[in-house]
Structure 1
């Protein structure tokens, strides 16, 4: 049994390599160098590419969670926090080659399933809590259906990631993200919330 002792922070270094060279075609030599280990140790710890990709993507999810904790310490209103989450999402999407998600879905189904599970068990409750907080503070409209709005936001993300709907060679994914999410978020804000949103969204 391999010894998975590489820390999540260490495994995160493999993400840029997979972005640049591909999930299937990234060389063990470059991955080992990025992870500050030897090829022999890398293959001993992760005897298959599937296993390495899986643990690397899980590590990247943990990185996102840490950034969200830092974000929540910086922003206090629900609108600002939602804006911050969108900013982080935009930044991450801008770094991801379009082929990455295609390869992940088709070549690494277990890892893609983990991504979807992350959306349902982490992202969805996070959004629901933000919507609840925003309604209580009168920044989001009180007549919105929280579960439905959350579902719409998650499905909009799935839509964005569908290369058959938005082929990455034809669409700027940053602009697609903006068009799908930002205008929708404005629509669920109260006047007070919209003023806060406008201040932050204008920077995008």
Structure 2
């Protein structure tokens, strides 16, 4: 693996474990077994590392979501598979990362918000539209309002003032939000399909 890729991979692992602000360039260098000078040969500063780690992660998440959409049997199955993906990803994420990104890295936070309000908004909107077409979601739902509501739930789930990390499990928060959201749009037919997936996963 090239040095630049190793730096990004190690930095991401440290950020996810300890938060962004608490990880220093010295610690990244020490973890890699290289000098800090070597890191500065590839990145201008820590902000540059944070930005590239975040944008790469967003791109990966988008690719995974698109793959799930292609493989899913229907819009409900797509959501169920997204929950399965979240279980792995959220388990490795320290919620402090979101707080640090928002407070100390406004440039990268702005990119994240733009990505969420465009790419992931489109993914959610498409899911709702397809669900209505297939008779799985109620035809009278306001797709534009609900798509944006779902986007805001993502940030809300990471709000430490509401869901402190020492009290709440991050995956359970996200899972509860998605379950609540989905049950609010399902038709009786959709509810039957959803519960079949849930029962299959639990057995």
Q: TM-score scaled by structure 2?
A: 0.85
| Pair 1:50 & 2:54 matched | no
CA contact (8 A) 1:14 1:35 kept: no
Q: 1:30 to 1:181 in 2, by over 3 A?
A: same
Which residues in structure 2 correspond to 1:85-104 (within 5 Å)?
Answer: 85-104=82-101
CA shift, 1:80, in A, is: 0.8
In structure 2, what is the equivalent of residue 83 of structure 1? 80
Number of residue pairs the alignment of both structures matches: 199
Is the helix fraction higher in 1 or 2?
A: 2
Q: 1:78 to 1:97 in 2, by over 3 A?
A: same
| Pair 1:59 & 2:74 matched | no
Q: Work out the CA distance in 2 between the residues paired with 1:60 and 1:36.
A: 24
Unaligned runs of 5+ in 2: none
Deviations 1:79-132 (A, max 9, x none): 111222233234322221122111111111111111111110111111001111
Q: Larger deviation: 53-62 or 191-200?
A: 191-200
Q: Work out the CA distance in 1 between the residues paired with 2:98 and 2:87.
A: 15
Deviations 1:136-181 (A, max 9, x none): 1111111110011111111222211211111112212222222222
Deviations 1:3-51 (A, max 9, x none): xx956x9835532121224313334466458789864342122121111
In structure 1, what is the equivalent of residue 197 of structure 2? 200
CA shift, 1:187, in A, is: 2.3
CA contact (8 A) 1:182 1:201 kept: no
Which residues in structure 2 correspond to 1:1-204 (within 5 Å)?
Answer: 6=4, 11-28=8-25, 31=28, 39-202=36-199, 203=201
| SS of the residue 2:115 aligns to | helix
Q: Work out the CA distance in 1 between the residues paired with 2:29 and 2:142.
A: 48
CA shift, 1:70, in A, is: 2.4
Q: CA RMSD in A?
A: 2.5
Q: Work out the CA distance in 2 between the residues paired with 1:34 and 1:190.
A: 52
Q: Larger deviation: 166-175 or 54-63?
A: 166-175
**Structure 1: 4+ residue segments shifted above 6 A:** 33-38
Q: Work out the CA distance in 1 between the residues paired with 2:148 and 2:70.
A: 26
CA contact (8 A) 1:12 1:59 kept: no
CA contact (8 A) 1:57 1:111 kept: yes
